[in-house]
């Protein structure tokens, strides 16, 4: 079973930055689009960003546009989410997922997708 592992979360003050990483062992991410999702306490999971397999196409949810940057290093089998100018409303558990459905600012998990990892906690607070 494919297992993606998220890392890089933490506690940061408003206006700060974090870089999240999504990796996989025994599985090559290079042939797959990857999406980042987040879930705030008491809220449903929402799509934040995604990148296609080549890295040439990227998509962002509206509230993170111009603050977050998704990238990938296929040689390192890793996808990154650089988050800048963080806000308290960015707080949540961040997950990555294979082959999301990405259209404009809408990022959704593939129908029936259930292979969620543990996620990484991001807390933005002073």
**By the 8 A CB rule, do 29 and 77 touch?**
yes
- Report d(CA 74, CA 60) in Å as an integer: 20
- Report d(CA 36, CA 8) in Å as an integer: 13
Identify the pLDDT of residue 26.
81
Burial class of 26 by CB neighbour count within 10 A (0 to 12, 13 to 18, 19+) = exposed
Identify the pLDDT of residue 120.
98
pLDDT band, very low/low/confident/very high, at 84 (cuts 50, 70, 90): very high
Per-residue pLDDT at 25 exceeds 90: no
3-class DSSP assignment, residue 65: coil
Mean per-residue pLDDT, 23-49: 94
Question: Which of the pair, 104 or 85, is modelled with greater confidence?
Answer: 85
Q: Which two tokens stand for residue 85?
A: 């100018």
- 88 phi/psi in degrees, rounded to 5: -55, -30
| CA 116 to chain CA centroid, nearest Å | 12
């Amino acid at each position: 079973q494919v297992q993606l592992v998220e890392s890089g979360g933490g506690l940061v003050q408003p206006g700060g930055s974090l870089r999240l990483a999504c990796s996989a062992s025994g599985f090559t991410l290079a042939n797959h689009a990857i999406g980042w999702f987040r879930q705030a306490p008491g809220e449903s999971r929402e799509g934040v960003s995604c990148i296609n397999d080549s890295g040439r196409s990227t998509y962002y949810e509206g509230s993170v546009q111009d603050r977050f940057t998704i990238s990938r290093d296929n040689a390192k089998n890793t996808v990154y989410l650089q988050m800048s100018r963080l806000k308290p409303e960015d707080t949540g558990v961040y997950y990555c997922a294979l082959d999301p459905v990405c259209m404009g600012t809408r990022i959704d998990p593939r129908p029936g997708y259930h292979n969620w990892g543990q996620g990484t906690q991001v807390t933005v607070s002073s």
